[in-house]
Amino acid sequence: MSSFVIEGGTRLSGEITPQGAKNEALQILCAVLLTSEPITINKVPDIRDVNKLIELLADMGVEVTHLGGESYKFCAKDVNIDYLETQEFRTKASSLRGSIMILGPLLARFGKGKISKPGGDKIGRRRLDTHFLGFQKLGARFLYEAETGMYHIDASDLKGTYMLLDEASVTGTANILMAAVLAKGKTTIYNAACEPYLQQLSKMLNRMGAKITGVGSNLLHIEGVEGLAGTEHTMLPDMIEIGSFIGMAAMTQSEITIKDCQIKELGLIPETFRRLGVQMEFRGDDIYIPAQEHYEIETFIDGSIMTIADSIWPGLTPDLLSIVLVMATQAKGTVLVHQKMFESRLFFVDKLIDMGAQIILCDPHRATVIGLDRVQKLKGIRMTSPDIRAGQALLIAALSAEGTSVIDNVEQIDRGYQNIDGRLNALGAKIERIE
């Protein structure tokens, strides 16, 4: 297990380019299973979860060619469906949350599939009902094998239908969408997720020959087609990384330019950080953040305490609430952070309290942060990263703290952020990775 040793209190400066979007990559990579023709994907992030999915696809018989840099070519001409019966597949798939999205393409193209209960972050319950109910409405039949934890699915006769999703699940919508593009007839998905990453998947599938309309809305129409062709696709920059860098710049009083942010795809993210007092300037698709001695949280118009809450798109992504929370500890003012979607994602605040932050954990979903306005700085401690997003928030806290911090279990951070220590050290951070 690796750890980061961070010497805090150093101001950073320079330019940093966000990686390709992790959450988009997991969808796009699974979509290569929909065709026997080659697909080239650019700006693939070099992170643990994505690399594990690429490895799983290769084990299934997908020909994977690294073209250099962040570009790969995939050819799923000779997929070995029998591999799904192996213990190796069961082990690898269960360790990776994104593996659930191979199901839609497998059911669409091969008429059957198997999957074990996927793993991932320990951030609360993340049910699969939306995925499975959608497949069932398309005509798939399920068998759950309790002794092995495997789901067996027969999808030999998928037919288009109307469905109203019980939740606007991003991965659920992506999975159902990929199953529907090759189903017979027309499928309508209402209450569909409409995140930019879902839009990216839809646009890629349309370039491959799918017939999807309503892209960008919560009402998707899919006309099933006989087959799909190859294509080339480029990922969006990771909006979570962009938000993390904005929060990091404010916390560490740093002057940073975040390059190629595709600002029009960021939704409420820039405005949310502005409401927390962060100054920023858009320069084309770059975001320039000046060094700030202080930043002040706005109040609502009536003077009441600001509440920052997550919501389905186009609301604020839940993946950034940990960043909002940690940077609020050094702001002037008070904010209530309301994490609606996952009941365990705020449990890292005890580590921030140990560092000197003033936070009241109201319940598993809400925390009130009383900003210290840098009058009392955080102090370095030893801590463990519980999940990807909390780990990045703790890293930002450590960079701003007085003294030395140690973060254990940084493999969790590596799952979502490529070479984060090297990239931040290039800006002047003092992070050492130890085994």
**Nearest 5 degrees, angle CA 356-CA 358-CA 359?**
120
CA distance 176 to 162: 12
Catalytic site residue 121?
Answer: yes
Per-residue HEC secondary structure of 304-315 comes to CCEEEECCCCCC
Q: Can you list the positions of beta strands (E) in 199-244?
A: 211-213, 219-223, 231-234
For residue 53, give the amino acid letter.
Answer: L
In a 3-state reduction of DSSP, which class is residue 123? coil
335 near 276, Cβ under 8 Å? yes
- Through-space distance between the first and last CA atoms of the chain, rounded to whole angstroms: 6
* Among 49, 121, 319, 387, the one annotated catalytic: 121
In a 3-state reduction of DSSP, which class is residue 332? strand
Q: What share of the chain is helix, strand, coil (3-state, %, to 5)?
A: 35, 25, 40
Q: What's the half-sphere exposure (Cβ side, CA atoms, 13 Å) at 81?
A: 12
Q: What is the CA radius of gyration of the chain?
A: 22
In a 3-state reduction of DSSP, which class is residue 159? strand
Q: What's the half-sphere exposure (Cβ side, CA atoms, 13 Å) at 128?
A: 20
How is residue 341 annotated by DSSP?
A: S
CA distance 20 to 42: 8
**Peptide bond before 118: cis, by omega within 30 degrees of 0?**
no
**Structure tokens, 431:** 């992070």
Q: Cα dist. 322→91, 317, 328, 342, 392 in Å?
A: 30, 11, 10, 12, 8
423 near 18, Cβ under 8 Å? no
- Residue 87 φ then ψ, to 5°: -65, -35
**431 dihedral zone (left: phi>0; alpha: psi -120 to 50; beta):** beta
Count of residues for the chain? Answer: 435
92, 94, 96, 98: CA torsion to nearest 10:
110
396 near 323, Cβ under 8 Å? yes
Active site residues per annotation:
121
